Amino acid sequence: MKIGVLYGGTSAEREVSLSSGKGIVKALKENGHEVIGIDFHPERLGEVMELDVDIVFIGLHGKYGEDGRIQGLLDMLQIPYVGSGVLGSAVAMDKAKSKKVLKDSGIRLAKDLVLYKSDDNHSIDLPFGFPVVVKPNSEGSTIGLTIAQNEEELHRGIEEAFRFDNTVILEEFISGTEVTVAVMGEKGNVQSLPVVEIVPKNAYYDYESKYAEGGSEHIVPARISQDFTEMIQCQSVIAHELLGCETYSRVDYIVPKDGTEPVFLEVNTLPGMTPTSLYPDAAKEVGYSYEQMIEHLIQLGLKKK
């Protein structure tokens, strides 16, 4: 087949996307496909509009890639692509809106407060205590994230997060084990892969822990109870479907130290595909090599037609 791969982009996650794209292109070539790679830029839409391919694998992360915009363009061009459509991409990317969608789903959500750049954010009435997690509403890969221990750090963190987004979300900090669930399948037959536990080398699972070689250890299956394993595998499919995601996604959680129910963090509709990424590790656990996983996602993408 002739397959287009979009990677790079202009978001704060560009470096990660370049690495994801490299891996995807290599795997597709090894699988015998003809590959056209495009380092995507919104000012060079002509490169996408002139694509003559059977399907596109989107290896972009963050804005202009994961938020539904490129999906809308591909829909208009009638080019099939791997992954979620416009609505699922846009809603999952918006952390505050995705939590509103999941509010009555039975999934445990962290308490939060949403701030807008246009408002006066000098005096904030927090509905929970410190520490507070401060993050841009529509960025991934812990870009612009701060864990504030006091009022001063909170205001600095808010300022930092507003550099990346006009909407910022504050959440209660929950101490525990970070885990993630890869989800895969066509509509009506969506399944969760084994739960992956993340053990960061730094104090928190920050950008360096995610992408630096040896920055974190991935333990599969996660060292959590069978009950919690089954619970979050089931909840991940629910979140994937309620948010309108398609083909694949990755759902992140914290399993609290106090033994209470796992807490949902977010859904990634275009999870990282770098050599250190979580999704390929989960797929490996059920017998997929990296190349087989990419091929399977291509076949699922073609079924969306």
* Rg of the chain over all Cα atoms, to the nearest angstrom: 19
DSSP β-bridge partners for residue 172: 132
Which residues is 57 bridged to in the sheet? Answer: 5, 82
Q: Is 15 a catalytic residue?
A: no
Q: Catalytic one among 141, 192, 216, 249? A: 141
Tally Cβ neighbours within 10 Å of residue 175: 9
Answer whether the bond into residue 275 is a cis peptide, omega within 30°. Answer: no
* 268 marked among binding-site residues: yes
Would you call 138 a catalytic residue per the annotation? no
User: Could you give the C-alpha distances from 13 to 8, 60, 61, 266, 271, in angstroms and in order?
Assistant: 8, 8, 6, 16, 11
Listing DSSP states for 61-105 in one string gives -STTTTSSHHHHHHHHTT--EES--HHHHHHHH-HHHHHHHTTTT
- According to the annotation, is 252 in a ligand binding site? yes
Annotated catalytic residue within 11, 13, 89, 98: 13
11, 17, 277, 295: the active-site residue: 277
| Tokens found for residue 181 | 């669930």
Cα separation, 58 vs 292, whole angstroms:
17
Catalytic residue list contains 13 = yes
- The beta strand positions in 149-283, using DSSP E, are 167-172, 176-185, 191-192, 196-200, 216-219, 247-256, 263-268
206 is in an annotated binding site: no
Please enumerate, by residue number, every residue annotated as part of a binding site: 252, 266, 268
Catalytic residue list: 13, 141, 277
Please enumerate, by residue number, every residue annotated as part of a binding site for Mg(2+): 252, 266, 268
